[in-house]
Structure 1
Amino acid sequence: WIEGLTIASIILGVLLGGQLVGVAVSNSLLAINFPIIDTGVDTPAEAAISGLIFIYILAAWFNTRIPHTGVEMRPMPRNKLQLLPDFWRCNSALWQDKLGQISLATTTLFWGVSGNLRYIVLAWSAAALGYSTTQASSLVGVVAIGTAIGAVLASMRMRLDQATSVMPLGIAMGVLVILMNFIDNVWVAAPFLILLGGLGGFLVVPMNALLQHRGHNLMGAGRSIAVQNFNEQACILALGAGYSLSTGLGLSAFAAITGFGVLVAGFMWVIQRWHKSNCIKHKDQVESLLRIARSDKSH
């Protein structure tokens, strides 16, 4: 459920951002006056940024309320570069693990694509539906409904050792993304995006659980999360740079949608073939790891 909330927060962040720059919300924020204090907030953009600052402060306060788990904290070295060899060792260990590499590749691809697809959907909404940024962000927020449903269903129906069976859903997601090019009606787009979000939630939740399971067994939860975040953020940056370059060269929103759909379906097919190859070439090792997964009751 934590993974589902994370996905939902990212998607709802787009929805909130679109509303903050909208006329109705920005005018309401600008109408707020404090006695004596001159905030200097005079434009919709400044009002939106002020709203985000408040949200960041609220999030920071939430972090201070997280209880201590009782785990002894190890002191950080003075020279932070001393952490690099240990980090790369952990990164290599997870990529070499026969289940860890599959789950890491899947979650890395998912976050890389989802981190950039929302911007493409904004451009697509303007081109296909004639939507403004505020209207388009509301449409992107619809995905959160499907994501929440998919995440809940996955947590109820999927066991840890079954996580790799959801990979065909990644291929289906790629196909659905391509089919967005043929939608020009909001009443079709809304349920379509709910379905797309549902597939994403059902895909990433068990895969992330498997990744955390293998990471915990190989190096501990903290190092595993660091490796996961590094790979996912690197993928987001790489795909974002590619999208920016392509739009700079004149690529349309429809072409970008097609490219991302092909990318998702193609890479998920490669990852699926990779896992099948592991099951044949490293059968004993994979079966041993799956037995360990079946005995893990914490995921």
Structure 2
Amino acid sequence: MNGFHALLVAQFLSAFVDNMILFVAQAILVRDAFPGWYLQLVQATFLFAYILLSPWAGRIADRFAKRLVLIGGNVVKCGGVGLLLAGADPAIGYAVVGVGAVLYSPAKYGILPFLANSDQQLLQANAQVEGTTILAILAGAVAGGWLADHSIILALTVCILFYVGSATLCLGIPSDPYNSDIMFRNAIPDFLRDLSRVLQVPRGRFSLLGTGGFWMASAVLRLAVFSWLPVAFGIRDNTTIGLMITLSGVGLVVGAALTPRLIPVGHTIRVIGCGALMGSCLLLLPWSPGLTLALLIQTICGSFGGMYVIPLNAILQRVGEQTVGTGKIVAIQNFAENTLMLAGVLAFLAASMTGVPVVWSMSANGLVLLLIVARLYLQQRSCQTSV
């Protein structure tokens, strides 16, 4: 197994568990009679960990060999699962998993330019990593829903075993060049300076806003499904909800596979078009008159989402390689994406607590993404440059 294949399998196992845990947390909340809106709060603590630690995460990824950072991230995630096993508040346990995730992510994406020899190879590597991640989302959602319905203890045990397996596989990833001169004491001002530097690059602004909008919409949709399916179709068990969530992932896998063929490097008008189509699907989804049509819209939405976000990731990684470093750029990307995701989740939480119908919240989610895509189109026209 070469280094890139080791990374793919390790990423699959880690992402598999990342997506299982939300269903296990939901099962714990139901078992312990937490209020219905508490799942949104649990998700918010995970996102807050990303935002809080972003100034240090990129430095860690560039300061040490990235395979060691990947191992460390998996170990921290195991600690969060251990807290859930010990009976800690799900918000606390999930927040610790978030700490592991914020360490893991810059190293996962930051090592791709080291493993790829050209822009086209980097795009293909991104597509394979995204495709593997989405397959893990599919399997993790199904397995998490089923295991959570049958045994919370068994589900959490599987989580720990898979994180350990991911950490072990990371040993097979080659050690990339790292900068031992990087310091941590000025992390916050340096992070803000790096963020400003990236935002001064048109391609940096374009891709940060684009990926942030995608993940904000995806995070809100993922949580909304738990509330919408019972209201719209009477579906309440975690197993069925998990199967429903996988449909967006099926579409994303298709989109990831089609991206290198349909969207060559630099064709941003096609990227913007895919984002607009994704937003339109999100806008229409909650008004589906029947389950079959809803399933079809979810799948199509995922396909357009894959073709929208993967080219943006490749653009941003090249911007990072040319400006602040591959690890730092992913930390900046995580900061931007999770700030928008947290804003979306908190808005959905507020809407839920004040009695706003979930169909209106879901439609508003699609409308916000359409506004972001419109802003990207205007930016691309005003710059008159290919990003």
Q: Shorter-normalised TM-score: what interval?
A: 0.7 to 0.9
Q: Which amino acid aligns with 2:334?
A: N
Corresponding residue of 2:129: 2
Q: Which of 218, 225, 247 matches 1:121?
A: 225
Deviates more, 1:169-178 or 1:157-166: 157-166
Other structure's SS at 2:174 match: coil
Q: How many Å apart are 1:20 and its aligned residue?
A: 1.8
Residues 163, 210 of structure 1: 8 Å contact kept? no
Residues 210, 373 of structure 2: 8 Å contact kept? yes
Residues 106, 271 of structure 1: 8 Å contact kept? yes
Q: TM-score, normalised by structure 2?
A: 0.63
Do residues 100 (structure 1) and 204 (structure 2) align?
yes
Structure 1 spans left out of the alignment, 5+ residues:
27-43, 280-285, 291-299
Cα-to-partner distance string for 1:216-240 (whole Å, 9 max, x where unaligned): 1112211111111111122222211
Cα-to-partner distance string for 1:5-25 (whole Å, 9 max, x where unaligned): 334434543333212212xxx
Number of aligned residue pairs: give it.
Answer: 259
What is the root-mean-square deviation of aligned Cα atoms in Å? Answer: 1.9
Q: Which of 344, 348, 371 matches 1:239?
A: 344
Other structure's SS at 2:185 match: helix
Q: TM-score, normalised by structure 1?
A: 0.80
Other structure's SS at 1:159 match: coil
- Distance (whole Å) between structure 1 residues aligned to residue 344 and residue 148 of structure 2: 26
Residues 287, 359 of structure 2: 8 Å contact kept? no
- Distance (whole Å) between structure 1 residues aligned to residue 353 and residue 244 of structure 2: 25
Residues 281, 298 of structure 2: 8 Å contact kept? no
Structure 2 spans left out of the alignment, 5+ residues:
1-127
- Distance (whole Å) between structure 1 residues aligned to residue 271 and residue 182 of structure 2: 39
Change over 3 Å in CA distance of 1:184–1:46 after alignment to 2: farther
Bigger-Rg structure (1/2): 1
Equivalence map 1:216-231=2 (5 Å): 216-231=321-336
Residues 199, 205 of structure 2: 8 Å contact kept? yes
- Distance (whole Å) between structure 2 residues aligned to residue 164 and residue 85 of structure 1: 35
Corresponding residue of 2:99: none
Q: How many Å apart are 1:120 and its aligned residue?
A: 0.8
Residues 12, 144 of structure 1: 8 Å contact kept? no
- Distance (whole Å) between structure 1 residues aligned to residue 232 and residue 211 of structure 2: 29
Equivalence map 1:80-91=2 (5 Å): 80-91=184-195
Q: Which amino acid aligns with 2:220?
A: N
Q: Which of 161, 167, 171 matches 1:60?
A: 167
Q: How many Å apart are 1:111 and its aligned residue?
A: 1.2
Corresponding residue of 2:276: 171
Corresponding residue of 1:33: none
Change over 3 Å in CA distance of 1:91–1:118 after alignment to 2: same
Change over 3 Å in CA distance of 1:227–1:211 after alignment to 2: same
Cα-to-partner distance string for 1:178-230 (whole Å, 9 max, x where unaligned): 21123243322222211111000011111111111112111221111111111
Corresponding residue of 1:154: 259
Change over 3 Å in CA distance of 1:54–1:229 after alignment to 2: same
Residues 20, 48 of structure 1: 8 Å contact kept? yes
Q: Which of 153, 164, 180 matches 1:74?
A: 180
Question: Percent of aligned positions with the same letter in both sequences?
Answer: 26
Change over 3 Å in CA distance of 1:164–1:4 after alignment to 2: farther
